[in-house]
């Protein structure tokens, strides 16, 4: 359950900070995609963008609440940046296609999770462990599939 909530936060943070609008020229799309990647990777830029978009502020509050601390919050945004990169590649930089992929991910987070690389799955699992540790003070066992 926590992983599904985490996936939802990752997808939401990715969708609210980007991508570019449909109809932009290809070079503008590439620039907007790079700017979104920078927002996910750079806390100061991200906070400025969040301040300008009320919906992004809501997602930021959810991420902060789920994370429980700044380090885990940055891990969530770091994973979001990796997932955003995957979405961008899968959509070949097409913002409309990215929006469709994000909608599918929101509708079926398990299928989206299953489509991720093992590296991304391990990152998400690591974040879920950080969250659990932060709440309980103990480390849960790692599933054999993720070792």
| CA angle 102–113–63, rounded 5-degree value | 65
Q: Where are the beta strands (DSSP E) in 1-147?
A: none
Angstrom CA distances, 67 to 1, 76, 89, 143, stand at 15, 8, 27, 21
Tens-digit pLDDT profile for the chain (147 aa)?
455 555 666 666 665 555 444 444 567 777 877 888 888 889 999 899 889 888 888 888 888 888 888 889 999 988 888 888 888 888 888 888 988 988 888 888 889 889 999 999 999 889 988 888 877 655 555 555 555
Question: What are the two backbone dihedrals, phi and then psi, of residue 68, each rounded to the nearest 5 degrees?
Answer: 80, -20
Contact assessment for residue 76 and residue 66, using Cβ atoms and an 8 Å cutoff: yes
pTM confidence score: 0.75
Provide the pLDDT for residue 20. 44
């Amino acid at each position: 359950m926590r992983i599904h909530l985490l996936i939802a936060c990752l997808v939401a943070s990715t969708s609210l900070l980007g991508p570019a609008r449909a109809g932009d020229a290809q070079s503008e799309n590439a620039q907007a995609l790079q700017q979104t990647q920078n927002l996910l990777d750079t806390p100061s830029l991200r906070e400025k963008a969040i301040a300008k978009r009320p919906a992004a502020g809501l997602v930021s509050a959810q991420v902060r609440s789920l994370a429980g601390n700044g380090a885990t919050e940055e891990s969530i945004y770091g994973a979001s940046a990796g997932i955003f990169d995957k979405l961008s590649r899968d959509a070949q930089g097409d913002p409309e296609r990215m929006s469709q992929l994000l909608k599918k991910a929101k509708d079926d987070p398990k299928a989206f999770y299953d489509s991720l690389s093992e590296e991304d799955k391990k990152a998400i699992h690591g974040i879920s462990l950080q969250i659990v540790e932060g709440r309980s003070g103990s480390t849960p066992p790692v599933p054999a599939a993720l070792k």
